Chain A
Amino acid sequence: MDTTVAKTGTEGKTWGGGNKPLNASYGKMMMWFFIVSDALTFSGFVAAYGFSRFKFIDAWPIADEVFTHVPFLHGVPAPMYYVAFMTFILIFSSVTMVLAVDAGHKMQKNKVIWYMFATIIGGAIFVGSQAWEWATFIKGDYGAVETKGGKILQFLDTEGNRVALADFTEHIPSAREVHLEKNGVWYDAEETQTTFTFEEVKAGFLANDNLLVRTQYYDENGEPTVLSREESVAKIVNDGKLVVEGANLKHNEYGHPLFADFFFFITGFHGFHVFTGVLINIIIFFNVVIGTYERRGSYEMVEKVGLYWHFVDLVWVFVFTFFYLV
């Protein structure tokens, strides 16, 4: 077995790996300890998400209402299906990875190549899906109004269906000139403008008697509170300030901005792991193809990247539960 492991220059020394403490090679054990530390980093993120959610427990967005889109199915509300698909892709790529490790143990080079290839494809599909999910989330859905206190007001008709801003906004003609860098010494570029101004949304809201406002706070039944027409008008006129379309790190039309922040940070950090996992898998894939491990007599390197890849899947299992299910 000694000849099968890559030489580290520390053979024979107790902690150099030559003696295989715990019967695991140096590289494999260190991969495990890296995974432990990385798991703690992710737990820090997820626990911080839990902290903020408990802090604003009566006003946290419902994931089912946020992630309702499936590619190529416009306007069909389908909560959960796309994330479920992503979960399956990742679990399946874990399966092909572990099959590659198994084929490596049996020194079947061609099988390792094909299983590694399938794993890389699965990872790429997952990263692509996540990019799409981000784009949809950033673009937004119905649009909302933010109050002076930073709370989100969404619009409903009297039947309780969500209404998009574009459906009732009244266009108010206004002359708006953009200040350019050449006009001034102390120049700051303006932020991206929303499609409608708050005044336009307000005018449209006042003109349509069948529109109601829904706040982000839950009532005693656990549903977001819907205000009566009088309360809605008062809320918009007195407290409304901004139009919010989609989500970024400061504003989030679906509810509390922290929800968007944690979504970007946690799925982004996980997506970064998937991305690096795909890169490492590609490197190992080419090493398998050119026969590096065949000559070394051991496919243990495939096993080590396999550990990392399964860990990425493991993290997704938790992200899936805490972001989309609970």
Chain B
Amino acid sequence: MAHEHKLAIFRGTLKFKSNVTKIWGVFVFLSIVTIIEVALGILKPEFLTETRFLAMKLLNWIFIILTLVKAYYITWDFMHMRDEKSGLRRAVVWTGVFLICYLILILLIEGDYIYEVYKNNYVKFDF
């Protein structure tokens, strides 16, 4: 029955009494994450834009990770993925995540390669 909801988030650390309070709880959490994102986007703290980790600014890592966190809670709690059978969950999430990661990896590497060729006017690496 669709009426049963799993009411715990954060791996069970936060349990809600009813589905409605859980919805408001998730909303508060998403709002906090968004406020953090916007604040960082306006302030752009220097130590986050100077430091790089795996060729990307620390600030951008934070933005992307926070985005994925938000996406998780929207899918799991607003779209009720938490309550679906694991078969449906995997069919949807794994397919999407795998294909999107592959697409992004391929296109970003290609884009960077073209940038280097434009900049240096010679082939960067020859297969």
Which A residues contact B (CB, under 8 angstroms)? 1, 22-24, 29, 32-33, 35-36, 39-40, 43-44, 47-48, 50-58, 64, 79-81, 84, 87-88, 91-92, 94-95, 97-99, 101-102, 105, 222, 300, 303, 306-307, 310-311, 313-314, 317-318, 320-321, 324-326
Could you tell me the distance in whole angstroms from the C-beta of B84 to the nearest C-beta in chain A?
6
Which residues of A lie under 8 Å from residue B110 when comparing CB positions?
51
- B23 CB, nearest partner CB in chain A, Å: 5
- Given A24-B84, A35-B92, A326-B60, verify A57-B115 contact (CB < 8 Å): yes
Say whether B38 contacts A99, CB under 8 Å: no
Contact A84 B27 (CB under 8 A): no
Q: Which 3 A-B pairs have the closest CB atoms?
A: A54-B111, A51-B111, A51-B107
9 A-B pairs besides A23-B88, A56-B115, A80-B42 with CB distance below 8 A are: A22-B87, A23-B84, A24-B85, A36-B95, A40-B100, A43-B99, A43-B104, A57-B111, A313-B78
How far is B79's CA from A131's CA once the two chains are assembled, in angstroms? 27
A50-B108, A54-B115, A105-B3 as given contacts; A311 in contact with B79, CB under 8 Å: yes
The count of A-to-B residue pairs whose CB atoms sit within 8 angstroms is 141
**Which residues of B approach A to under 8 Å, CB–CB?**
1-3, 19-20, 23-24, 27, 30-31, 34, 37-38, 40-42, 49, 60, 63-64, 66-67, 70-71, 74-75, 77-80, 84-85, 87-88, 91-92, 95-96, 99-100, 103-104, 107-108, 110-112, 114-115, 118-119
- A-B contact list, 18 entries, CB within 8 Å: A32-B91, A35-B92, A47-B108, A54-B108, A55-B115, A80-B42, A92-B27, A97-B78, A99-B23, A102-B19, A105-B19, A311-B79, A313-B74, A314-B71, A317-B67, A325-B37, A325-B40, A325-B63
Q: Contact at A91–B111, with CB atoms within 8 Å?
A: no
**A321 with B67: CB separation less than 8 A:** yes
CB <8 Å contact, B78 and A98 = yes
Chain B contact residues: helix, strand, loop or mixed? helix
CA distance A279 to B56 in the complex (A): 40
Among residues of B, the one whose C-beta sits closest to the C-beta of A50 is B108
Measured CA separation A43–B107 after assembly (Å): 11
CA distance A51 to B77 in the complex (A): 32
CB distance from B50 to the nearest CB of A (A): 10
In the assembled complex, the Cα of A44 lies from the Cα of B42 at a distance in Å of 28
The CA-CA distance from A101 to B23 in the complex, in Å, is 11
A residues near B31, Cβ cutoff 8 Å: 88, 91
Q: Are B85 and A91 in contact (CB under 8 A)?
A: no
Contact for B100 among A29, A43, A325, CB less than 8 A: A43
Flag if A94 contacts B74 (CB, 8 Å). Answer: yes
Question: A52 near B85 (CB under 8 angstroms)?
Answer: no
A residues in contact with B38, CB < 8 Å = 80-81, 84
Distance from B49 Cβ to chain A, minimum over Cβ atoms (Å)? 8
Contact A326/B64 with A47-B103, A88-B31, A95-B27 known, Cβ cut-off 8 Å? yes
A80–B119 alpha-carbon span in the complex (Å)? 32
Contact B104 A47 (CB under 8 A): yes
Q: Which residues of B contact A324 (CB under 8 A)?
A: 41
A99 to chain B, nearest CB (A): 6
How far is A99 from B71 in the complex, measured between Cα atoms in Å?
18
Report the Cα distance A55→B109, complex, angstroms: 10
A97 / chain B contacts, CB cutoff of 8 Å: 78
User: Which residue in chain B gives the minimum CB-CB distance to A103?
Assistant: B20
- Chain B residues, Cβ within 8 Å of A79: 41-42
Least CB distance from A60 to B in Å reads 11
